[in-house]
Amino acid sequence: MKMRYVMDACALISFLRNEDGAKRVSDILKDATDGTAKILINSINLLEVYYDIYRGVGKAKANEELAMIRRLPVIIRARISDEVFEEAGRLKAFYKISLADSIALAEASVSGGALMTCDHHEFDVVEKKENIRFEWIR
């Protein structure tokens, strides 16, 4: 059975910047390449990554990195299903987290995947109260 992961922005940024946790993300990407894992990211979370790069080093680098990301073994979910929409709304209302974080959490919850993240300050409380799996990269 394939492991299923939902990647949030901080996990992808850690990988791109070779920060702490990049090795764990790289290992999971290798598993996806080998066919033993499935990784998805919502386009809203990908937008956070694009914005972070654009803000930091400009449009050309953001577009270059986006092209590279699109070659990774990651499914980019461009649409928010009704089920993810409703779950994201519930999670955002209850935990007062960012919209993008609520979408990543909802994608993990609905798909049964583990949320690949390093955002302990956002998600530690959620992990204690919800039946959502987490893959902490650091």
What's the pLDDT score for residue 98?
95
Encoding tokens for residue 26?
Answer: 């790289």
97-130: string of b/e by CB count within 10 Å (b at 16+)?
beebbbbbbbbbbbbebbbbbbbeebbeebeeeb
Secondary structure of 27-66 as H, E, C letters: HHHHHHHHCCEEEEEEHHHHHHHHHHHHHHHCHHHHHHHH
Domains of the chain with CATH codes: 3-136 (3.40.50.1010)
pTM, two decimal places: 0.94
The one-letter amino acid code at 45 reads N
What's the pLDDT score for residue 1?
73
Instruction: Report the C-alpha gap between 138 and 14 in whole angstroms.
Output: 10
pLDDT (tens place) for every residue of the chain, 138 residues total: 799 999 999 999 999 999 999 999 999 999 999 999 999 999 999 999 999 999 999 999 999 999 999 999 999 999 999 999 999 999 999 998 999 999 999 999 999 999 999 999 999 999 999 999 999 999
Angle (CA) 90 6 60, round 5°: 110
